[in-house]
Amino acid sequence: MMWSRIPLLRLIIPFVGGILLAPKLVPAAGPAMMLLLLPALLVVAGTLFYSMIFSYRSRWAYGSLIILFFFCYAALITSRKDKAGREIQAISVAEKKTFLVRLSGPFELRERSCRGRVETIACMDSAGWTATEMEIMLYTEPDSSLPDLRAGQLLLIHARPELTRPPANPFEFNYREYLGRKRIFHTAYLKKGEWYVCLLRDSPEMIEQAGIYRNRLLEKLRLSGISDKHFGISSALLLGEDRYLADDIRDIYSRAGAMHILCVSGLHVGVIFLVLGVLFSFLRKSKFGKIILPFLLMGGIWCYALVTGLAPPVVRASCMISFIIIGNALMRQKNVYNTLSASALLMLILDPYLLFGAGFQLSYSAVLGIVSLQKPISNWFYFRYRLPAWMWSITSVSIAAQLGTLPVVLFYFHQFPLYGLITNLIVIPLSSLVIYAGFLLLLMPAASLPADGAAFLLSKLVWIMDTGVGFVESLPGGLLGGIRFDLFMALMLTGMIVFFAAFLISRLRAYFFMGLFLLLGFSLYRGADKLRLSRQEELLVYAVNGHTAVGIVQGRKLSFIADSALLASPGKLEYSIKPHWLGRGLRELRIQEPDGGQLYYPGQLRLVFWQGAFPHCNPPRDKLKTDFLVLRGRLAFGIGQVYDWFDPGIIILDASVPPWVDAEASDSLWVVREQGAFVAELQAGSPGSR
């Protein structure tokens, strides 16, 4: 692979660098404009007077100017979005007000609430209606009618939007950062009676019609006899509608390594492209037909993207295939790396924050893995007969995709499905057949013989696929979980895969030795990390509203003290507690419930729990000395009374203490409900520091 043949790949590298370094290099949009102006002028001058300014030997200077331009342009658009985000975050609402909002997408019905994204249009205050623009993640009490609302629906809400809270516990999922990259900085919770659905709608007609058509297709799918969990799988796989997927189905497919099947992706767009190519193949015979063919192909692909609600994977795949269609129409020599780079560059120009999304990274790393590694891997074995050759072809694609996505999967999800290759042997061919049968069903007239036959075939194929995935998931030891994998490890693993892949393609030993060098560095880093973890000592009082949860870390061992209600809530443990265990590499766990006793730990550090009232007697003359005093539950005394009975180093009000308890945080008083988790490094003879 020669660099001269992939110019767009060379340009996207500085563009990504500009996005990553923008927060440090360009704190405001104004300086960024000046930063962009100079290289832009130099590039224009070099383009107009190339032969006068640059000789063949100095062509590198012109290339450097273009690279500098893309770096600065990425820094500019990223810094401007950062500035706009800071301005939105500066919006503060002191009390509940009435807002006119537009629904950005359908509400999601959850176990205890409904969640939907809205965009404010105006706000009513004492001066009347005022134009207001910000996006809010809205939570309401459960209401089965809300999910039926479509994008563009206008609502009146009475709410007090608040800035999204940062993570309350170490290593907890950063929901604030996740929403912020979608330009959502505020959340609000509504009780029943605090929202009103207006009769008016405000949405682009094309998107509105696409949503109506998607609902009709879902209804047609339901009326064809596809029901229960098979309807949820079919609607997610064909139309990207995952509202009907049960949580147990998601878990099974995730553990089996088949979760990528339950969403519309490049596979679906590829099927649409192939089908349209066959249907319109006759147009290639005429000159006029060759002109309109690209427009028909791209129109069909983007119509499908609209019907699926412009799901990000479909948009990415549609961009990739659109560039392929354009290249074919212009009769240009195709290079898949240029095509991938062009689609990625276009999407990052529109929204630089896509770079940080797991979906974006998984999509492009999977395609790059397949394009780069599938052929070298498939050449490992040769089969004479078609069936084993076909099975090995699918397996080589799966291996290439898994190698490409391995660093991303380990970094974000900390698990790896060991039977993923077996799963893909089942789901890849079956999902393709499901897509063909599903599209045939949706395109045929209802209650017709072809539609009935397609519905029967679709039902059986989904049943076979679901049974196969369930069988693989039931095999023992199918999921390797709890893998501690930080960003530096992910970068080193990515480098190893890149160099070893380059060796497989080019057979240059230099790439092989560079891969071995990174492997050695990776091993040394892992060893040093394990040594550091074996010496850690830490006290942590977790922030889980309404519950007591304390962790005492000694090396890779953990003593976890929590109330019985929290121990019986696996969802809260998974979200708030276990990410810390994984981040600290903890392996041995001892669980107990809190009591009023004293607990002694290395260095004679003393931790005491207290709940309820003090004894009905005079305080002792010699106060009980503690390093950490954890107050929990409903306090029957004032904070000042604590000092009559204890000589505490630090008082901690855990998350089970009600919010109405009057306590002001200070150096010696930590209020978990307000300040988040309390963390202290334990050192022999001292309580450590937060």
Q: Bridge partners of 158? A: 98
Long-range Cβ contact pairs of 663-666 (< 8 A, separation 24 or more): 663/639
Cα separation, 315 vs 350, whole angstroms:
12
pLDDT at residue 686, rounded to an integer: 47
* C-alpha dist (Å) from residue 395 to 385, 436, 476, 480, 592: 16, 22, 21, 20, 47
- Alpha-helical (H) ranges within 311-355 are 312-329, 336-350
pLDDT value at 384 more than 50: yes
Enter the tokens of residue 521: 């560095």
Amino acid at 449: L
Range with the poorest average pLDDT among 60-64, 189-193, 646-650: 60-64
User: Given the DSSP bridges, would you call strands 557-562 and 678-681 parallel, antiparallel or unpaired?
Assistant: unpaired
Query: Which one, of 305, 300, 299, 297, lies nearest residue 329 by Cα?
Result: 297
| The length of the chain, given as a count of residues | 690
Predicted local distance difference test score (pLDDT) of residue 33:
54
The three-state secondary structure class of 27 is: coil
Identify the residue with better confidence: 286 or 163: 163
The arithmetic mean of pLDDT across residues 166-175, rounded, is 92
Rounded to 5 degrees, φ, ψ at 123 are -130, 140
Q: What angle do CA 419, 424, 430 make, to 5 degrees?
A: 140
For 408-442, what is each residue's pLDDT tens digit? 999 998 888 888 888 888 888 888 888 888 888 88
Task: Tell me what percent of the residues of the chain surpass a pLDDT of 70.
Answer: 89
Task: Kindly provide the residue ranges of all beta strands, DSSP E only, lying in 298-432, ordered along the sequence.
Answer: 415-417
**Contact, 651 vs 629, CB < 8 A?**
yes
**Are 399 and 373 spatial neighbours (Cβ–Cβ below 8 Å)?**
yes
Domain boundaries, the chain: 3-89, 97-203, 208-413+421-478, 487-533, 537-681
Distances (CA, A) of 680 to 52, 433, 648, 686: 66, 56, 15, 10
Taking a C-beta distance cutoff of 8 angstroms, is the pair 218, 170 a contact?
no
pLDDT at 580: 93
Q: What's the pLDDT at 49?
A: 54
Average pLDDT over residues 268-280: 78
Inter-residue contact 372 to 501 (CB < 8 Å): yes
pLDDT at 603 over 60: no
List the one residue out of 258, 210, 263, 254 whose CA is nearest residue 236. Answer: 263
Look up residue 551 and give its amino acid: G
Query: Strand, helix or coil at 59?
Result: helix
According to DSSP, the residues that pair with 118 across neighbouring strands are 103, 136
* CA 342 – CA 417 distance, rounded (Å): 32
Q: What CATH code would you report for 97-203? A: 2.40.50
pLDDT of residue 563: 87
Q: What pLDDT, on a 0 to 100 scale, did the predictor assign at position 171?
A: 92
- Mean pLDDT to the nearest integer, 310-324: 81
Torsion over CA: 337, 339, 342, 346 (sign): negative
pLDDT exceeds cutoff 50 at 690: no
**Looking at per-residue confidence, does 205 or 182 come out higher?**
182
For position 54, what pLDDT does the model report? 53
pLDDT at 542: 94
Confidence tier at 284 by pLDDT (50, 70, 90): confident
Please, what is the average pLDDT of the chain? 82
* Confidence at 106, pLDDT banded by 50, 70, 90: confident
Query: CB neighbours of 582 closer than 8 A, spacing ≥ 6?
Result: 171, 414, 482, 484
Residue 602 DSSP class = G
What's the mean pLDDT in 39-65? 60
Separation in Å, CA 208 to CA 153, 154, 306, 310, 439: 10, 13, 10, 12, 22
Q: Residue 168: its pLDDT value, please?
A: 92
Bridge partners, 101 (sequence order): 120, 155
Q: Number of C-alpha atoms within 13 angstroms, CB side, residue 230? A: 21
